[in-house]
Amino acid sequence: MKLIKDHLIEIRDDGSLWMNMEYFTYPHALTMTGRALERLIGGPARQPESKLTQREMDLARSIQDITEEVMLKMTAHAHKLTGLRDLCLAGGVALNCVGNGRILREGPFDQIWIQPAAGDAGGALGVALALAHRYKEFPRISAETLGTWERPSSVKSTGRLPRYADGMSGSFLGPKFENDQIARFVESNGYVARQYDPCEVAERVATLMAQEKVVGLFQGRMEFGPRALGGRSIIGDARSPKMQSVMNLKIKFRESFRPFAPAVAREHVGEWFELDGESPYMLLVADVQSSKRLPSRPETEALWGIDKLNVPRSTVPAITHVDYSARIQTVRREVNPLYYDIINAFHKRTGCPVIVNTSFNVRGEPIVGSPEDAYRCFMRTNMDVLVLENFILEKSEQAPVTDDESWKSEFVLD
């Protein structure tokens, strides 16, 4: 950390910073850093899939600590200037959910809201809102005032939003496929699928998840932003000690240590995590409650690196990080009924209102956007079940895929 502060960055009390561009190449190249930084830290960048060493772990931790320091100083300065108790965040660094969690816990704010597409792509949302406000005369409104302003005739009345809502429909703003479209897709391809009544889907999926089946969930509108939030998600049993490595190695095709996020029914979040508020967009980190943690065993104290990460640390080990933290998504039925009903049915069956949620894709591939994409990903991985709206397909009943694995080379990360 001292090396970074001595050579790479200067941080001022208000969070503003100066970066030494001798060590950064992103303004004129396709990588963030170059040979100068490699010389400074004593070696080249780690290649994907190569063994993690203490250097990579120390470097990642130091950069994260510095990022959090900047975030805390910037937001504290914003509060000093404005006196406001609510904070909104956007931009790529606002996807740093560990830093967001520290702002919520340690900062002077009552609540924070992070734009779910907090990155370059999310700028389109601001442009659309600015144009609507400036040229179409749509007023700038909040949840508290939504029920009082006089709407243009072109705007549909939705009434007053509850305080937890933000007008973005849970970020479910993308395309949706109706059941008749799914039926035609399944029938035209000869796939084996069972159609359930809407009230039966959640029960069937919860039953399969309780058997440690991994489920691809394709339902409702697609999410806007980088996080899968239950529309295009892969879900599983958070209680399973093997679920994290299975999802990483056999489905996502990436390193086994990559962490997954929990999705939890909103009314139970405080029972399982040190958070008692909203985190609908999976952009806040909080610790697992001490009552859910497992006692450490003497034989695990000498472990190092990946071996240490694989030690179960709570009753929901698939989503618990090495420091007992988790990147949380809170789920309300008003926002995503089927997703909530699956979690609720799983809770009734197992006593656990927490499931694993990760994006429906393989490494380097975009999140699936169509039934064709979803089926292809389902069949090319070790996923057990595919949910397409009210249709459920089980891997064991499908005809085997005949293509080879050369497709994996299309999706290799830099």
**pLDDT tens, per residue, the chain with 414 residues:** 889 999 999 999 999 999 999 999 999 999 899 999 999 998 888 887 788 888 888 999 999 999 999 999 999 999 999 999 999 999 899 999 999 999 999 999 998 999 999 888 888 888 888 999 999 888 876 555 544 444 444 444 445 556 667 778 889 999 999 999 999 999 999 999 999 998 899 999 999 999 999 999 999 999 998 999 999 999 999 999 888 778 877 776 766 566 789 999 999 999 999 998 999 999 999 999 999 999 877 767 777 666 777 788 899 999 999 899 999 999 999 999 999 999 999 999 999 999 999 999 988 889 999 999 999 999 999 899 999 999 999 999 999 877 656 555 555 443
Instruction: Give the per-residue pLDDT at 414.
Output: 38
Longest pairwise C-alpha distance within the chain: 69
The CA-based angle 63-67-69, given to 5 degrees, is 115
Q: Is 91 left (phi over 0), alpha (psi -120 to 50) or beta?
A: left
Q: What is the DSSP letter of 291?
A: G
Please say whether the dihedral angle defined by the alpha carbons of residues 80, 85, 89 and 94, taken in this order, is positive or negative.
positive
Report d(CA 78, CA 76) in Å as an integer. Answer: 5
Q: Which of 286, 288, 172 is nearest to 228 (CA)?
A: 172
Strands (E), 222-288: 232-237, 261-265, 284-287
DSSP β-bridge partners for residue 127: none
Instruction: Give the per-residue pLDDT at 405.
Output: 60
Strand, coil or helix: what is 270? Answer: helix
The encoded tokens of residue 260 equal 């997954």
| 349 Cα distance to chain centroid | 25
For residue 140, give the amino acid letter. Answer: R
Report d(CA 234, CA 123) in Å as an integer. Answer: 27
Q: Which of 176, 178, 198 is nearest to 186 (CA)?
A: 178
Q: Which of 212, 203, 206, 211 is nearest to 247 (CA)?
A: 212
Task: Scan for tokens 């472990």, then name that residue.
Answer: 303
Instruction: Give the per-residue pLDDT at 413.
Output: 41
Task: Scan for tokens 């006196």, then name that residue.
Answer: 83
Report d(CA 412, CA 253) in Å as an integer. Answer: 10
Q: Which domains can be identified in the chain, with CATH numbers?
A: 2-46+53-114 (no CATH), 179-411 (3.90.870.20)
Instruction: Give the per-residue pLDDT at 140.
Output: 75
Instruction: Give the per-residue pLDDT at 155.
Output: 43
Question: What's the whole-model pTM score?
Answer: 0.87
Report d(CA 278, CA 267) in Å as an integer. Answer: 10
Q: How many CA atoms lie within 13 A of 404 on its CB side?
A: 2
Report d(CA 25, CA 21) in Å as an integer. Answer: 8
In degrees to the nearest 10, what's the CA dihedral of 287, 293, 296, 297?
-150
DSSP codes, 209-229 = HHTT--EEEE-SSPBSSSS--
Instruction: Give the per-residue pLDDT at 147.
Output: 46
Task: Scan for tokens 């850093």, then name that residue.
Answer: 33
For residue 34, give the amino acid letter. Answer: G
Instruction: Give the per-residue pLDDT at 403.
Output: 65
End-to-end Cα spacing for the chain:
26
Instruction: Give the per-residue pLDDT at 295.
Output: 87
Instruction: Give the per-residue pLDDT at 160.
Output: 53
Report d(CA 200, CA 197) in Å as an integer. Answer: 5
Q: For residue 177, which phi and psi values (nearest 5 degrees)?
A: -115, 125
